[in-house]
Structure 1
Amino acid sequence: MPRASNNEIRLAGWYVISLRPLNQHAGVRRAATRVGARTFALSTLRLRPLDAKPALRAALACPRVIVSSPAAVRLADAQLPLSKRRGQLWFALGAGSAAALKRRGIDGVRIPAAGSDSEALLAHPDLQDVRGQAIGLLTAPGGRGLLADRLRTRGAQVHIAEVYQREALAVAPARLHALAALRGNVALFLTSREAFDPLWQALSAALRKQLLGRPCVVASDRLAALARTLGFKNVLRASDARPSNLVSTLASHVGVGRIR
């Protein structure tokens, strides 16, 4: 029998709570399983594709194209196959989106030097002098408004293609009961405030207190500040929202005894 790696020993017996949209937990589950952890999937959102072909064509014709998430990559590509034109610059808010583009043959994607939010991408040198430039943005309604507004302030013409929509899902009482019944080592993966807020509102005072006692692995400084404001004591900052990084962040703290 093959020997377990150190990471597998570190997270054996752990549960990680994933708040990814409905049917989007596979990446977290794979990453958690590799280190011996189990996944508690709890979705408060689902993604619905939007027919955006005319807007998508316009966005993809721009000399600079920005994608807001791996879902934007996947759902845009389902409508019009993505490809990189000669001289075109592609940007992504994080390494996960850049990896999704690379799987579709688009390499050299520019990502923030640090962080994975709109402010971090706006600091990229290739997005400073954009006056008179056309920039395509593949996103969802209500997503990355700050990014589009700032680029317009800099003089860019932003062509937005809304390729999917987030829809709220009610948290079933049975799922809350199952959450309350989790015992032992449990950590929350917090990668989206939009996904977290409905869960927080649905929790009883007792269940909130229970959750606050768990480690909370976050994907941005903004989410770290939110978690600390709510009262989480063990807030762990992952480098980005990729499942492998969330899991490795938790494992590294458990491995050195900071989290038990």
Structure 2
Amino acid sequence: MASHDAARWYVISLRPQGGHASLRRLARRHGAGLLALSPWRLQSLDGAAARAALARALAADVVLFTSPAAVVAARRLSALAPRRGQLWTTVGAGTAAALHEAGVDDVLAPARMDSEGLLALPPLQDLHGRSVGLVTAPGGRGLIARTLADRGASIRRAEVYRRLPLAPSPRALARLRALQAPAVLLLSSGEALDTLLRQLPADAIARLRALPVIAASARLADQARALGFAPVSRADGPQPGQLFAAAAAAVTPLRLASDSLPTAPTGTPA
């Protein structure tokens, strides 16, 4: 483990497999390490049924993408071209940026980048007689569909990708168990945390629960506390920079405490 503990502190990422790059860059910039505990990998869906569902969703009065992965998967199935009079919206800035990259210029995204922030947008308050195309994956964000349906919307759901559970590798578990430097768990998906906990052995779960948590929203903070995590702090939002800034603030007292511990004299076992 000595080579992994070269960093003075760590962030633990629950992003999907292959989705840790932005956090890893931020970690390197601030002298931190990153431990990836991906609970799943993402798989785009294809075939006639997926294409038909997406076409129906893209023809709705309101088109709502729930994640950047939904945008990437949808682009593999169809061109993304809003028609006049439609509202295209997203949960946050990352998904909006993915739509901009796909050529969709006019996208409404909430300042508060979570389900509650999206549902507070004025155009989504009264949806009687209107259709909402929800471009998403199975599971996740059930609050959005339920709330919009309660407001009168006809929901057209298009599942364009899916999350396949992925057990943490023995190497990742060994790193978690042996980690000695201060570390912080980053939480931007409640489903990711639930999925990970179902796959971890008891000792690894106990190790995680002993770490500070940075949650992207109040709802996620409440979920983490209900699952036995403490202490739990909130970031300003789910963007990598927001999560990392909160993590750096949370870990500073831990680093100071770690740095103040006496070191064993040379040649003396620690």
- 8 Å CA contact 1:63–1:135 kept in 2: the answer is yes
Residue 81 of structure 2 aligns with an amino acid whose one-letter code is: S
Per the alignment, do residues 139 and 13 of structure 1 end up closer, same or farther by CA in structure 2, a change over 3 Å counting? same
SS of alignment partner, residue 200 of structure 1: helix
CA offsets 1:25-47 (integer angstroms, 9 cap, x no match): 12221222232222111111111
Q: Hey, what does 2:130 align to over in structure 1?
A: 133
Deviates more, 1:102-111 or 1:218-227: 102-111
CA offsets 1:24-72 (integer angstroms, 9 cap, x no match): 2122212222322221111111111112211111211223110111111
1:246 lines up with 2:228 in the alignment: no
Per the alignment, do residues 148 and 182 of structure 1 end up closer, same or farther by CA in structure 2, a change over 3 Å counting? same
1:40 lines up with 2:35 in the alignment: yes
Q: Could you tell me how far apart the structure 2 residues matched to 1:61 and 1:146 are?
A: 22
Q: Hey, what does 1:75 align to over in structure 2?
A: 73
Spell out the pairing of 1:163-202 with structure 2 (5 A cutoff). 163-202=160-199
Using structure 1 for the length normalisation, give the TM-score. 0.85
Q: Could you tell me how far apart the structure 1 residues matched to 2:216 and 2:108 are?
A: 19
Using structure 2 for the length normalisation, give the TM-score. 0.82
Spell out the pairing of 1:51-90 with structure 2 (5 A cutoff). 51=46, 52-90=50-88
Per the alignment, do residues 204 and 155 of structure 1 end up closer, same or farther by CA in structure 2, a change over 3 Å counting? closer
SS of alignment partner, residue 91 of structure 1: strand
Q: Could you tell me how far apart the structure 2 residues matched to 1:197 and 1:143 are?
A: 11
- 8 Å CA contact 1:253–1:259 kept in 2: the answer is no
Percent of counterpart pairs with the same letter?
49
CA offsets 1:158-183 (integer angstroms, 9 cap, x no match): 21111001111123334212211111
Q: Could you tell me how far apart the structure 2 residues matched to 1:252 and 1:83 are?
A: 42
- 8 Å CA contact 1:215–1:232 kept in 2: the answer is yes
SS of alignment partner, residue 43 of structure 1: coil
Q: RMSD across aligned C-alpha pairs, in angstroms?
A: 2.2
* Greater gyration radius: 2
Q: Hey, what does 1:161 align to over in structure 2?
A: 158
Q: Which runs of 5+ in 1 are unaligned?
A: 1-11
Matched positions, count:
247
- 8 Å CA contact 1:215–1:259 kept in 2: the answer is no
CA offsets 1:130-165 (integer angstroms, 9 cap, x no match): 111121110011233332232222222221111001
Residue 113 of structure 1 deviates from its aligned partner by: 4.2
SS of alignment partner, residue 183 of structure 1: coil
